[in-house]
Each structure stands twice: as C-alpha cells, then as structure tokens.
Amino acid sequence: MNINKKEMNQKAVAVMTSGGDAPGMNANVRAIVRTIINKGARAYCVMEGYEGLVKGGPEYIKECNWEFVRGWLSEGGTNIGTARCMEFKQREGRLTACKNLIDAGIDALIVCGGDGSLTGADLFRSEWPSLIKELLDTNQITSELYERYKHLNICGTVGSIDNDMSTTDATIGAYSALDRICTAIDYIEATAYSHSRAFVVEVMGRNCGWLALMAGIATSADYIFIPEKPAQTNSWEDQMSEIVTRHRANGKRTTIVIVAEGAIDNNLNPITCDDVHKVLSNRLKLDTRITILGHVQRGGTAVAYDRILSTLQGVEAVNAILESTPETPSPLIAVNENKITRKPLMESVALTKSVADAIAAKDFDKAMSLRDVEFKEHLNNFMAINSSDKVLPKEITDKGLNIGIINIGAPAGGMNSAVYSITTYCMSQGHNALAIHNGFTGLVRHDSVHALSWKQLIGWQSKGGSEIGTNRHTASEAGIEEVAAMFQKHKFDGLVIIGGFEALVSLQELQEARKDYLAFRIPMVLIPATLSNNVPGTEYSLGSDTALNSLMQYCDIIKQSASSTRARAFVVEVQGGNSGYLTTLASLACGAQISYVPEEGNISILQLEKDIQNLKESFKNAKGRDRFGKLVLKATNASLKTWDSHTLAKVLTEEAKGAFDAKAAIPGHVQQGGLPSPIDRTRGTRLAIKAVNFLEEFSKNNASKNEVASALLDAKLGKTEYIESNDALDSLIETAAVLGTQGSHLKFTSVKKIYETDSDLIKRMPKDIHWTHIRNIADELVGRERV
C-alpha cells in the first residue's frame, strides 16, 4: 500500500477485536474509530483479529470513515470479526504482521480482548524493534519507513464476558452475559414452579465464578459452585442436600443450582452438572433437568452498562494511545470506583493469570483476594441470605432488633430486591424485619406493619415494582406525631428507608423531630432508589439501571422504526424530573443525535438552529442508506414551559424544510416498569446488607440505648418529662444517614450534612452533578456541535 506524504505526517491508529466475542465490542470499536477521527488521526479496523494482521492488505486492514461504524451501538458480537490465529503465535507470523501494519501506515494499535489476546498484543510490541530491524536488514522496508514506524504503541480494552481481569471492576460484556443468564433462569424458574422441578444451570466463566455468583444472588439460587471457593470433596453433596431439603420443607417449590463451568472441589476435581444432577435426582428424588446456556450468554445486544462502559473506555483508549511515547508501558483501560482509569497492561494480565495459578496450587484465599473488591463481599452476602430460613421466628423475636422497612416515592427496579435482602439477612442474623406497607400514610392510617415470612419472600428478588407498596407522602405529610406513636408502638430499633428525594426529605424530618420524639432516636438509613438518580450523596440509585435499560430498548425499537422511513427522526421524552441523568446516559447508550436536559437551562434558539442543521447534514451524509433513524432525547423538564415533545417535533419538521420529518414518542411509565436488571438486583442486596450492618453497629454501640428505652416508658406512662441537651442530640446525627455509592465503595453520610450542604431543595437535586462530562462525549461521538 502506498502512503503519501500527507498521510505519513498524520497519525494512524488501528483497532481490532480478538478472543471470544463479547456484547459491547461493537460499541467499543465505534467509540475508538470516531474518537480517532475527532482527534485528527486516521482510523483503521483490523478484520478477523490477529488473523487479519497476518493476512494484511486492504481487505483485512481497512481505513474507516465516520459512517463505517454507524448503528453499531445496538449490535451484538463484533462486526470486524475475531478468529484464532496460530501463525501469530510464531515469530514468523508476527514478522509478517509487522510488515502489514507498516504497509498500511499504522502507528498504534488498540486491542479489545481477553487476557490471552492482550498478552499477544504486548508481546508484539516488545518484539517490534527487532521485527522492524529485520525488515530493514532484509530490504523489505526502506530506511525512511524504518525511522517513521520504529516504535509501535499498543493499548488494551478488556472484552470478556467472564469478568476475570484483575485490576478492573468490570469487563466489557460481563453484565450483558449476566443479563442473559438471569433472564434464562427467570424463565426456567417459571417452568420449574409449574412442575416443582429442580434445574441445574451451567454458566460460563472459565476459572472465574463471577457470573455464577452474581446470577446466584440475582435469582435467589439455592446453591452455587464456583472455582474460587471450591466445594469440599467429601461433603458438598451433604451440604447441598441439606440446604435444598430445608428450602423445600419451608415452602419452596423450585430448586435452582448454578454451576460455573470451572467448578471444582477442594482437590481440584471438576464438578459437573451431571454430578449435581445425580445428587438431586437419586438422593433427593427430585424431578431434575440440566440446562447448559452455552453461547446464548455471549449473544444479543449489549445492556446499557456495557454500551456506556465500552464507549467511555474506547474514548480513553484513543487518548492514551495518542499520549503514549516509546517509553510508555502499554496501558490497559480499566474501570475502578466508577472511574475510567489506565493500568499497566502486563501487570494486569500477570495478576489475572496468577488467579488460575493460585487455584491450581489450592491457595483459594489468594485466588479470592485477586478478584475485584466486591467479590468476597458478594459471596458472604449470598451465603448469609441463603441460610435465612434456618432461624426460627421465636429466636428472631427474643434476641434480635426490630427493624422497620419502608418504601417512599415512585416505584423503582430493585426495591423488592432490597426488601428481600434486608429481611432475609435480618432473619439470618436473628433480627425481626417489619415491613411498613404503603409508606408513611399506610403506617399512620392503617397501622400496616407486618413481619414477612420466608415463604412469602420467595421470588421477590426478581420482581419489579414494590411488593410492600410505596407512595410519595413524606413523614410530615403523614403526620410526625402519628408516625412517632407508631414507631413507639412497634418498638422499632432501627429503620431502613428505600426511595428517592421524598425519602431523603422524610429522613431529614425524622432526624429533626428527634428533639421532640424519643421514638426517632434510633439508627435510620436511606437506600437511594429512583430512576431519576437525583438523590444527593450518591452516584447511583436503585432503579436507574433498570430504567436506563427499559428506555434503551424502547429507543432501539423507535430507531428501527425511524430507519424504515427515509429521513425520519423521533423526539423521545425522558422522565427524571429536574435530573438529566437518564437522558444523558440513554443518549450515550443509544447514539442519540441530540439531547436536552434541565441542567443546561432552556433550549436556546441558536442551539436549536445548530441542531436542525446538524440533523440535515447527517441525513444528507446517509444518502438514503439503511439503519439511519435519528433520535432526539428531551428530558421532560427541559424547557418545560416552552417546549413539550410534540411541539419540538413539529418545529423540527417545519424548520427542516423537507430534509427530514420528526415525530414525538413518549415512553412514559415504561421507564419505571419491568423486571429489575441484574445490576439493580445485586446492588440492592449489597446496599441492603450494608444498611442492616449500620443499624446493628449503632444499636450495639449506643451506650444510652437502655436509658432512652426507660425514659420512653416513663414518658409514655406520664411519670416524667424527658429533657436532653443539644450535645446529646448532636451525638445522634451520624445515626441518620444516606447510604451512598461512590465508585465501587459505599459511604454513609449524615442526612443533616447532605440536606443542608449538598442539596438543591428547590430543584430536588444534588448540587454536584457527577455525570456532566458524559454529555460532551455523547455529543462528540455523533458530531453534534454546541453553541
């Protein structure tokens, strides 16, 4: 291939996918290609992985324009292909690949794949100086080309459904695979219930049990087998039989056992689905079936999380590769604490491979420690809630705390998961969990407080909506005095509130009312749950991921409809109140051409004119090709007094002057409904157990608890007046807290601080918006210009 002088002065970056395909790879390639072009460099795609590097030529190393990756966000697999290549494992093959890259004028390479693919990429870079020197010595390249291409920079993004790469919290495709598994098990559960059957489900993961563990939590499986915590050779059959038998005796009609494909016992003997089937059918006499999900786990479009993760990592990969020098170690683009980071590629790969080495050496504690920060915590949580039916109700009542659970605000995916996990964890710890039905008004008007039974909770982990009911009335709207009387009547030792901004207001009201009502001087914690994700003190609220996936699926369908009609755009109205979180993340996940959010003020005429021109040019560039529907996302409260979605669509159509037409599409409460996503299920469990731990800690460490209880009794009987100093009340401030997600860590912050310093009470929003940078990325990847 002949490279002209202008092109030689312009950086050229290639991207390839390798190893097993993973949902989100196409989104990663799209982001990389368009960011390369935005940075003024030339973008190339290497077709068919390392095989394409070895074969070379314009058929396999293709220069790509902006339109090449159009529509890729919603497509599964990898459109540029992936293939095993034995030739590349030999030096001769890598020499050929070196020559092919130089012929194509490539300066740098970004590889999306697993640990094996990334190991090959770093080996290629380390050998590059000797490879290109050999090409020069054998007269296959000129000295000019040698000087121009004597260094090759490489960057890796991790595409793997196994989530097995150390140093990153999540890999591209893992949550999509988990979604497939949970959907399949939800379906299996329905047929199992009909026949009272047992099912043994095999999931992928190689040496990593992350998929099996997270699916076990998300679907309330009876038992799981994972390689990091192997089963005991001589006792796993007895242990599994005991748990399954107990669950059945306590009223469960179904049995689900999840087996990771790398499952072993502590002597490293494989445990297969057939082994588990024999125990369930022969020993327990259960009608048992085996389901091996196989490559269904890899298929289909990526969930919203993977589209967003792969896009943000793709943008960062280009930034990293363009900033690299010959001395820069090859970077790996990771996500840590919800932030996109760069890690040394080979250190990450070495740590990943050491997990398998630790398992082979039977050092299972080390293998566990090398997983992401949440892995061990999730495993402990699973074991705790799975044993919840061992504790008798009498033991709970006599020894434990009385913990109230209440939902406040609109229903959100994951609410039931949180209630389920709070209650079952309380049971496992000997506490009495009391569900308050239908919010504070239900408490005051109907005294609707009930202990939930283990049997009653079966299936709640995967149910949408709110099984104990919810409403938007705050504590003061229901009546603080009446609420206090009910707290006193039911002798609550702690309270978990699950909900959105109304829940935050309610917690602050209860905290403020402590000076007047002793019943509120108990530890209380808020688990944020709202699709708007507008609760101060947290980056993530339960329900926002479920809503984002529902909205994304809606937009995919709308976009397909728009593509069927030439030059059609849809204006999609997105919920979220004064928060543009859902609009912004959906815009990135769906590739919306335009998005409007309340945080940016009213939609200006200048910006609208620019956006209309942008749409005209975009349709013109399409030249009537397929898959070219356009989306405009408008948050409901964006320019609420000036524009509704129908009016905006009419204006777009009128001003387009025939270049395109626009229609309004309003998903409404579709965004609130549906089954909770695996992310909301598993995070709901994690938040729930942390919340109960918080209540336990403050109840245990509160030295004045018995004095308060005694004073409460005296006050009730009219024997005394109860007066405390401000210092005593101030000491209780930290016991009313919001449980916030900050990155991958959970943090408790007093509601008083959040309410007084971090909240915009008029707009019902946090003062600090953590996601604004995503708006710029979303605009850049669709070529939107801002005024």
Q: In 39-90, which ranges are continuous DSSP H helix? A: 49-55
pLDDT at 713: 41
State whether 342 and 480 are in the same domain: no
- Residue 467: band (very low, low, confident or very high) from pLDDT cuts 50, 70, 90: very high
Looking at 673, 705, 730, the residue that finishes a domain is 673
Looking at 618, 638, 673, the residue that finishes a domain is 673
Is 393 part of a structural domain of the chain?
A: yes
- Residue carrying the six token digits 């087998």: 225
Asked if residue 613 belongs to a known ligand binding site, the reply is no
DSSP character at residue 735: G
Q: Average pLDDT for residues 244-264, to the nearest whole number?
A: 96
State whether 120 and 215 are in the same domain: no
Asked if residue 784 belongs to a known ligand binding site, the reply is no
Asked if residue 544 belongs to a known ligand binding site, the reply is no
CATH (domain of 519): 3.40.50.450
Q: Give residue 58's identity as a one-letter amino acid code.
A: P
**Beta-ladder partners of 334:** 341
At 436 the three-state DSSP class reads strand
Is 778 part of a structural domain of the chain?
A: no
Asked if residue 459 belongs to a known ligand binding site, the reply is no
Question: In this predicted model, what pLDDT tens digit does every residue of 296-326 receive, in sequence order?
Answer: 999 899 999 999 999 999 999 999 999 999 9
State whether 561 and 590 are in the same domain: yes
Distance CA 371, CA 165 (A): 8
Q: Is the pLDDT of residue 188 over 80?
A: yes
State whether 459 and 477 are in the same domain: yes
pLDDT at 701: 60
Q: Average pLDDT for residues 56-61, to the nearest whole number?
A: 96
Q: Average pLDDT for residues 709-730, to the nearest whole number?
A: 51
Is 736 part of a structural domain of the chain?
A: yes
Asked if residue 663 belongs to a known ligand binding site, the reply is yes
Name the residue among 264, 79, 294, 75 with its Cα closest to residue 177: 294
State whether 159 and 237 are in the same domain: no
pLDDT at 709: 42
Is 534 part of a structural domain of the chain?
A: no
State whether 162 and 187 are in the same domain: no
Question: In this predicted model, what pLDDT tens digit does every residue of 550-592 receive, in sequence order?
Answer: 999 999 999 888 888 778 999 999 999 999 999 999 999 999 9
By annotation, the residues acting in catalysis are 162
For 59-73, 487-501, 612-626, 646-660, which range has the lowest pLDDT when averaged over its residues? 612-626
* Alpha-carbon dihedral angle through residues 233, 234, 239, 240, given to the nearest 10 degrees: 60
Q: Average pLDDT for residues 749-776, to the nearest whole number?
A: 94
Is 770 part of a structural domain of the chain?
A: no
For the chain, what is the domain count? Answer: 4
Q: Is the pLDDT of residue 411 over 80?
A: yes
Distance CA 26, CA 17 (A): 9
Is 370 part of a structural domain of the chain?
A: no
Which residues have a Cβ under 8 Å from the Cβ of 307 and sit 6 or more positions away? Answer: 24, 27, 73, 552, 588, 589
Looking at 673, 708, 739, the residue that finishes a domain is 673
Mean pLDDT of the chain, nearest integer: 92
Q: Average pLDDT for residues 279-306, to the nearest whole number?
A: 96
State whether 598 and 564 are in the same domain: yes
Is 380 part of a structural domain of the chain?
A: no
Asked if residue 787 belongs to a known ligand binding site, the reply is no
pLDDT at 717: 42
pLDDT at 390: 87
Q: Average pLDDT for residues 41-60, to the nearest whole number?
A: 97
- Residue 624: band (very low, low, confident or very high) from pLDDT cuts 50, 70, 90: low
State whether 731 and 695 are in the same domain: yes
State whether 410 and 318 are in the same domain: no
Q: Which residue has the higher pLDDT, 628 or 369?
A: 369
Q: Give residue 549's identity as a one-letter amino acid code.
A: N
Q: Is the pLDDT of residue 389 over 50?
A: yes
- Residue carrying the six token digits 């356009």: 630
pLDDT at 760: 93
Q: Is the pLDDT of residue 712 over 70?
A: no
Is residue 498 within 8 A of residue 419, CB to CB? The reply is yes
State whether 483 and 617 are in the same domain: no
**Beta-ladder partners of 156:** 111, 332
Name the residue among 301, 497, 413 with its Cα closest to residue 684: 413
CATH (domain of 579): 3.40.50.460
- Give the domain extent around 394: 387-525+678-765
State whether 74 and 120 are in the same domain: yes
State whether 328 and 418 are in the same domain: no
Query: What whole-number percentage of the chain has pLDDT above 90?
Result: 83
pLDDT at 672: 85
Counting Cβ atoms within 10 Å, is residue 592 exposed (0-12), middle (13-18) or buried (19+)? buried
- DSSP letters along 155-197, please? EEEEB-TT---TT-S--BTHHHHHHHHHHHHHHHHHHHHHHT-
Is 118 part of a structural domain of the chain?
A: yes
pLDDT at 425: 96
Q: Which residue has the higher pLDDT, 620 or 260?
A: 260
